[in-house]
C-alpha cells in the first residue's frame, strides 16, 4: 500500500488504525493521539524539540569559513520556560503511553539540554527504563570557541510502559552485531558509533540548505527498529520531522504512524518514500 499524507482536520473524531496506518499525518500530535484507541502500538520513537534556548536571531558563525552553523533555533523549538516545556513533554508522553501495548517500548532521544528532564518525566509517568544508549557521533560539529567540550553524543532512553513488562522485544543478536561492528566486542554494549545524517541522505530545501536541523540518521533508526521490533509491528513517531522513522520502518517491513506539525517537513517526508 502506498504511503498516505493525511490532514488531521479531515480525520474523524474517533480515529481507527486503518484510517492512519502507514501514513504521515499533518497536524498536532496531541490532537491526533487523543483521538486514537488505546494499546495499539508496539514501539515508539520519541524525538521532541530540544528547547536549546539560543537567543533570538543569534547565529553561530564558523569563523574559519564564515558560514552560519545551522541549529534548531526554529519556532518549533521555542518555549517560554522550562515549565511550559515540561508540561508539553508530559502531556505528549502521557498520551503516547496510553497508545502503547502493555509490552511496547519507547526510545526517547535528546541532548544534555533536555534528556534529563525527559528521563524524569518518563519515570514520573510510570515508564520503566531499561537502558540508556549513547549515540556517539563519528563526525560531530566541533566547538570552535574552545570554551567547552565538543558535544559528540546524544542519549537514547529505552523504556517499557510498565515496571512489570517482561515480554518486550530485545533482539539481542542484532545488539551484539552492532557492538562487533563498532568496537569488535562480542557483548552488546550500550554505545553506538554512527555518523550524523549527511550526503544524499540529508534532505535539502529549495536553496540547497539542510531542510531540517535535527534529521536523524537512517542507521540509528535501523538499529532501534531491528533490536526492538519484529516484522509487521506498528511503530509510532508523534513528532516525525523528515520522516526517518517511517522510511526505515517500511524498508524493514514494519508498519508506522507518523505525525508532524510543519507542512514543509510532512511534504518532504512523503517525497522521501519515492526517492
Ligand atoms: C527533533 S525534530 C524530529 C526530527 C526527526 N526525528 C527526523 O529524523 O527528521 C522534532 C519535530 O517535532 C515537531 N513538532 C513539534 N511540536 C509538535 C507537535 N505538537 N505535533 C507534531 N509535531 C511537532 C517539529 O516540527 C520537529 O520537526
Per-residue pLDDT reduced to its tens digit, 215-241? 999 999 999 999 999 999 999 999 999
Q: What spacing in Å lies between the alpha carbon of 14 and ligand 1's midpoint?
A: 23
Per-residue pLDDT reduced to its tens digit, 34-77? 999 999 999 999 999 998 887 655 554 444 333 444 455 578 87
Mean pLDDT along residues 170-191: 98
| 236 Cβ neighbours under 8 A, 6+ residues apart | 41, 43, 44, 45, 96, 99, 256, 257, 258
Q: Are strands 100-110 and 153-160 parallel, antiparallel or unpaired?
A: antiparallel
Per-residue pLDDT reduced to its tens digit, 102-114? 999 999 999 999 9
Protein residue closest via CA to atom 14 of ligand 1: 239
Q: Report the largest interatomic distance among the alpha carbons of the chain, rounded to a whole angstrom.
A: 55
Ligand 1 neighbour 97 (Cβ under 6 A): no
Cα-based distances in Å from 90 to 62, 82, 144:
36, 12, 35
Q: Are strands 4-7 and 100-110 parallel, antiparallel or unpaired?
A: unpaired
Residue 232: give the domain boundaries: 4-272
Q: What spacing in Å lies between the alpha carbon of 146 and ligand 1's midpoint?
A: 30
pLDDT at 1: 73
Ligand 1 neighbour 47 (Cβ under 6 A): yes
Return the ligand 1 atom nearest residue 45 CA.
6
- Cα–chain center distance at 174: 20
Number of domains present in the structure of the chain: 1
Pull the grid cell for residue 75. Answer: 519556532
CA distance 264 to 270: 10
Give the domain CATH number at 9. 3.40.50.150
Which mutation among 241, 244, 262 tests ligand 1's pocket best, with the greatest number of atoms within 8 A of CB?
A: 241
Ligand 1 neighbour 36 (Cβ under 6 A): no
Cα-based distances in Å from 193 to 199, 217, 220, 241:
17, 11, 9, 22
pTM of the predicted model as reported, rounded to 2 decimal places: 0.94
Q: Which residue from 114, 71, 111, 72 is spatially nearest to 93, judged by alpha carbons?
A: 114
CA torsion sign for 226, 231, 234, 240 is positive
Task: Give 194's strand partners.
Answer: 137
Return the ligand 1 atom nearest residue 28 CA.
20
CA torsion sign for 39, 262, 115, 81 is negative
Amino acid at each position: 500500500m502506498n504511503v498516505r499524507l493525511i490532514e488531521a482536520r479531515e480525520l474523524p473524531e474517533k480515529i481507527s488504525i486503518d484510517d492512519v496506518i502507514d501514513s504521515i499525518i499533518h497536524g498536532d500530535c496531541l490532537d491526533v493521539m487523543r483521538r486514537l484507541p488505546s494499546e495499539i502500538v508496539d514501539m515508539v520513537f520519541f524525538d521532541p524539540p530540544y528547547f536549546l534556548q539560543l537567543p533570538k536571531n543569534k547565529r553561530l558563525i564558523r569563523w574559519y569559513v564564515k558560514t552560519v552553523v545551522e541549529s534548531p533555533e526554529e519556532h518549533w523549538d521555542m518555549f517560554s520556560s522550562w515549565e511550559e516545556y515540561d508540561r508539553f513533554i508530559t502531556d505528549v508522553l502521557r498520551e503516547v503511553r496510553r497508545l502503547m501495548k502493555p509490552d511496547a517500548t519507547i526510545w526517547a532521544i535528546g541532548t544534555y539540554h533536555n534528556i534529563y528532564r525527559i528521563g524524569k518525566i518518563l519515570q514520573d509517568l510510570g515508564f520503566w527504563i531499561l537502558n540508556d544508549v549513547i549515540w556517539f557521533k563519528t563526525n560531530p560539529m566541533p566547538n570552535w570557541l574552545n570554551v567547552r567540550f565538543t558535544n559528540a553524543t546524544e542519549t537514547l532512553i529505552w523504556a517499557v510502559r510498565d515496571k512489570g513488562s517482561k515480554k518486550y522485544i530485545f533482539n539481542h543478536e542484532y545488539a551484539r552485531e552492532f557492538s562487533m561492528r563498532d568496537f569488535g566486542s562480542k557483548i552488546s554494549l550500550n554505545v553506538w558509533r554512527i555518523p550524523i545524517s549527511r550526503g544524499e541522505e540529508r534532505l535539502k530545501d529549495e536553496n540547497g540548505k539542510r531542510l531540517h536541523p535535527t534529521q536523524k540518521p537512517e542507521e540509528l533508526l535501523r538499529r532501534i527498529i531491528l533490536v526492538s521490533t519484529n516484522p509487521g509491528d506498528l511503530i509510532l513517531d508523534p513528532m516525525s520531522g523528515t520522516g526517518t522513522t517511517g522510511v526505515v520502518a517500511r524498508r524493514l517491513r514494519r508498519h508506522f504512524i507518523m505525525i508532524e506539525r510543519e507542512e514543509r517537513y510532512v511534504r518532504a517526508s512523503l517525497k522521501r518514500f519515492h526517492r
